[in-house]
Amino acid sequence: MEDLLRNDERIDQLMQYDLKIIQSPTVFSFSLDAVLLGDFAQVPRHDRANIMDLCSGNGAIALMLSQKTKSLVTGVEIQERLIDMANRSIRLNRLESKVNMIHTDVNEIKNWIRHDSVDVVTCNPPYFKHTKESAKNPNQHLAIARHELYLNLQELMKATAFLLKTKGKAYFVHRPERFLEILDAMREVNLVPKRVRFVYPKEHKEANMLLIEGIKNGKETGFTVLPPLYVFDQQDEYLPEVRRMIYGSNRKES
């Protein structure tokens, strides 16, 4: 197992799915937002769907989704180092037949995948706008993952709409302060918002994440705001719903 690790990498376990995922604090580590998106996204259980995870990083969400479906899951990532980490995690979990990675810019995905051919798209995108004034992480790997250096919100929605079949579903995790911008960007490309759930660190705090589902060329009616998701109790312990997402229904936090 150790020969799969390089430099400062480690192996973390995502117990709900019994997955081992290679992480690096100086390159990329998935966090709670990825776990929440992996749980929120609904994928067909059968083996005939085309499922894609954009901005896939080290492949954590693609690996999670592979445990919820018999279909192939394809991750798309621009950073070569992260593709390498993802491919080693895929081998570590013996999921070569279930998860595939594509090394490309999301803006170039049309050169890899046919128009209107995907059933489900997920994405945990860069959250922060790229401006001359915005402070960016000096670590280039982390800056690319967190800031819209190579992919902005409008480009993400355009690529998602290109990929999805009519009635195909998209799932995103993002920041509440960009909620209205997200809705506008989705509707501009006929991704009709259908469900949103706001995530709060704990009760009486402001939301710090949102999960949103859209349907390509869906009906404009039926938008639903789901009950709030609280992460921690007042003792800073995971609440039961989040604990289940991380550890599984039959496991307890260690």
What does each of the 254 residues of the chain score in pLDDT, given as a tens digit?
557 898 889 999 999 999 999 999 888 888 999 999 999 999 999 999 999 999 999 999 999 999 999 999 999 999 999 999 999 999 999 999 999 999 999 999 999 999 999 999 999 998 767 666 555 556 665 556 565 577 899 999 999 999 999 999 999 999 999 999 999 999 999 999 999 999 999 999 999 999 999 999 999 899 999 999 999 999 999 999 999 999 997 654 44
Cβ atoms within 10 A of the Cβ of 135, count? 8
Please report the pLDDT score of residue 209 as a whole number: 97
d(Cα 197, Cα 122) in Å, to the nearest integer? 15
| Cβ count near 169 (within 10 Å) | 24
Tokens of 116: 């209107």
Q: Which helix (H) or strand (E) holds 224?
A: strand 224-225
Q: What is the pLDDT of residue 132?
A: 60
Q: Which two tokens stand for residue 91?
A: 């081998």
The CATH class given to the 2-246 domain equals: alpha beta
**Distance between CA atoms of residues 230 and 238, nearest Å:** 9
25, two tokens: 């604090």
pLDDT, position 253: 46
Q: What are phi and psi of 135, to 5 degrees?
A: -75, 130
pTM of the model: 0.92
Instruction: Name the residue ranges covered by the structural domains of the chain.
Output: 2-246
Cα dihedral 33, 36, 41, 47 sign = positive
Separation CA 34–CA 11 (nearest Å): 16
* pLDDT for res 30: 87
Apex 125 CA angle, 238 and 149, nearest 5: 135
User: Which of 52, 40, 49, 51 lies closest to 224, judged by CA?
Assistant: 40
State the pLDDT at residue 18.
Answer: 94
Question: Given this model, what pLDDT does residue 223 score?
Answer: 96
